[in-house]
Amino acid sequence: MPVFAPEASKIKMVILTKSKQDNAVWWSPINQNKRNSQRIIESMLRRFEKHALAKMTNVIQFYENGNLIAEKKL
């Protein structure tokens, strides 16, 4: 079983980058699906802050079941 999967992960994180950079999509780990959505978002943000994308990002959006549940502007 994969760690991340669009059809099985609870949270989708869309990373909107600054101009001329490719946007990215991250999925929450499947083993965290039973957790509270806010806790999953917090753990995804901790991992994101250590990634190179963090320096070139404008907005991060979090989706659950296709609905926007949180947004963070950087």
Q: Which long-range contacts (CB under 8 A, 24 or more apart) does 37-42 make?
A: 37/10, 37/11, 37/62, 37/64, 37/69, 40/10, 40/11, 41/11, 41/13, 41/70
pLDDT of residue 19: 78
Please say if the pLDDT value at position 60 is more than 70.
Answer: yes
What is the average pLDDT across 41-60? 94
pLDDT of residue 5: 80
**Percentage of the chain modeled with pLDDT above 90:** 81
